[in-house]
Amino acid sequence: MNPSARFSCFAGCDEHYALDEVVYRCRRCGALLDVTHDLDALRARSAAAWIDLFDRRWMRTAWPYGSGVWGKLEWVYPGIAHDSIVSFAEGGSNLLRADRYGRSIGVEDLWVKQCGNSHTGSFKDLGMTVLVSAVREMVRRGRGVRAVACASTGDTSAALAAYCAAAGVPALVLLPRDKVSVAQLLQPLANGATVLSLDTDFDGCMRVVKQITDDGSIYLANSMNSLRIEGQKTVAIEIVQQLDWSVPDWVVIPGGNLGNIYALGRGFQMMKDLGLIARMPRLCVAQAARANPLYRAFKSGWDRYEPITAQRTAASAIQIGDPVSIDRAIRVLKATDGVVEEASEDELSDAVARADRTGMYNCPHTGVALAAVEKLARAGTIERGQRVVVVSTAHGLKFTEFKRAYHTGALDGATARHDNRPIELPADVDAVRRALDARL
Ligand SMILES: *Cc1c(COP(=O)(O)O)cnc(C)c1O
Ligand SMILES: [Zn+2]
């Protein structure tokens, strides 16, 4: 067995490039690229044998297979030298049963894939380990790059900075000023990246970084780069693996630039092509109502897509009006009988607060997905008894300003119905007793 992979044109041109080439789009038609695998070579191992192999590697020590991403190395970047791999043991995040919250919203079989429980606190680590490892592989094969760059709403930049720091490669990140959390700004600063804070939004940063990386000497790390998709698609495989190789009925994911929904679809499709699963789940992209270009396209019956100017939302990582992977997302949703749902600031923050009351600690993007589940369940689109997995994309601790605004009743566009504040008292036992009696 000799698995191999290459870039191929998403739109179907007969164009293919090696994975160590600096190329993001089809040179003939300009479409994005897919990483395509030699499935026949992978079929030399049976579905049962892949399952056995993946289970034996899961969360163990042998380098680099203990990483959730690199445990699936042959499906991700076959042939990469182990020495090129830059890994923080990403992946393998917990899939938690959201029992009490699920029952409260009438979805009894609800699970949350905690992708934020990762090195830099978001699912972006899954893609970035592949991209930065690929850069090291390029350097090893004699193709140097001066730096790796990305535009970001805060999580891509944190991941890029950390993996580049581990690899000893210069990182350059472009952030929209005042539109990322304090934690997200500090992460790349601490990891020594060059941080450019621009007076624009994410879409504006994206336009600049595309031009900066134009001549190929600076490598582009945004999700239009399909190498990231290869790492992120392992979330689909992990979900199925953690459900003892069974397929949920629904997977709900918050979407902005829409690379992750495409990755999810690719992961499920690859498992189906190789016989590990027999059917696809239905997929749902959840968008903030203030940044909902995909939702609008869905509502038009996939008739019309128009970029919009995204408005400020607490779900800042998905505040994107002109998603680069729009065509990819629409293709995946059509293929999986998928839907798009939206959530207002009030709906997303209320869902976060109620879910937090059951012990979770959700980021606002996860709140968008939870609100979408609630709406789909109310509408009967998600049927009673169906198994639903929500992809939680980042750790709540990165979004302290959001939590504080909610719990002090100061969150824009939202009414705090489940706010909770500290009771400030003198250090006096009687005063404490009185306060407890009033509360319990
Ligand atoms: C990047 C990100 C998203 C959106 O992912 P896309 O691939 O851009 O759709 C959602 N949530 C969080 C926390 C993110 O960092
Ligand atoms: Zn093409």
DSSP symbols for 424-440: ---S-HHHHHHHHHHH-
Nearest alpha carbon, ligand 1 atom 8? 257
Output the pLDDT for position 253.
98
Mean pLDDT, rounded, of the chain: 97
CATH classification code of 95-120+229-407: 3.40.50.1100
Output the pLDDT for position 1.
74
Find the 2 Cα to ligand 1 centroid distance in Å.
34
User: Nearest ligand to the C-alpha of residue 17?
Assistant: 2
Output the pLDDT for position 224.
87
Tens-place pLDDT, residues 257-296: 999 999 999 999 999 999 999 999 999 999 999 999 999 9
Q: Which two tokens stand for residue 133?
A: 């490892």
Instruction: Render each residue's pLDDT in the chain as its tens digit; 440 residues.
Output: 799 999 999 999 999 999 999 999 999 999 999 999 999 999 999 999 999 999 999 999 999 999 999 999 999 999 999 999 999 999 999 999 999 999 999 999 999 999 999 999 999 999 999 999 999 999 988 888 899 999 999 999 999 999 999 999 999 999 999 999 999 999 999 999 999 999 999 999 999 999 999 988 999 999 889 999 999 999 999 999 999 999 999 999 999 999 999 999 999 999 999 999 999 999 999 999 999 999 999 999 999 999 999 999 999 999 999 999 999 999 999 999 999 999 999 999 999 999 999 999 999 999 999 999 999 999 999 999 999 999 999 999 999 999 999 999 999 999 999 999 999 999 999 999 999 999 98
User: Nearest ligand to the C-alpha of residue 235?
Assistant: 1
- Bond from prior residue into 64 cis (ω within 30 degrees of 0): yes
Percent of the chain with pLDDT over 70: 100
DSSP 52: H
Would you say 360 and 100 are in contact if contact means Cβ atoms under 8 Å apart?
no
Sheet arrangement for strand 147-151: 194-198, 171-176, 147-151, 218-220
272 burial type by CB count under 10 A (0-12 exposed, 13-18 middle, 19+ buried): middle
- Angle separating helix axes 400-407 and 182-190, nearest 10 degrees: 160
Find the 280 Cα to ligand 1 centroid distance in Å.
22
DSSP 247: -
Output the pLDDT for position 223.
81
- C-alpha 85/C-alpha 139 separation (Å) is 12
Tens-place pLDDT, residues 112-126: 999 999 999 999 999
Output the pLDDT for position 144.
80
Tens-place pLDDT, residues 136-181: 999 988 888 899 999 999 999 999 999 999 999 999 999 999 999 9
Would you say 187 and 222 are in contact if contact means Cβ atoms under 8 Å apart?
no
Q: What number does the ligand 1 atom closest to the CA of 320 have?
A: 8
Output the pLDDT for position 42.
98
Q: What number does the ligand 1 atom closest to the CA of 363 have?
A: 13
Q: Is the CB–ligand 1 distance for residue 260 below 6 Å?
A: yes
Reduced to 3 states (helix: H, G, I; strand: E, B; else coil), residue 250 is strand
Q: What number does the ligand 1 atom closest to the CA of 258 have?
A: 9
Which distant-in-sequence residues (6+ apart) come within 8 Å of 75 by Cβ? 3, 37, 42, 234, 237, 270
Q: Is the CB–ligand 1 distance for residue 155 below 6 Å?
A: yes
Would you say 202 and 316 are in contact if contact means Cβ atoms under 8 Å apart?
no
Sign for the CA dihedral angle at 143, 145, 151, 152 comes to positive
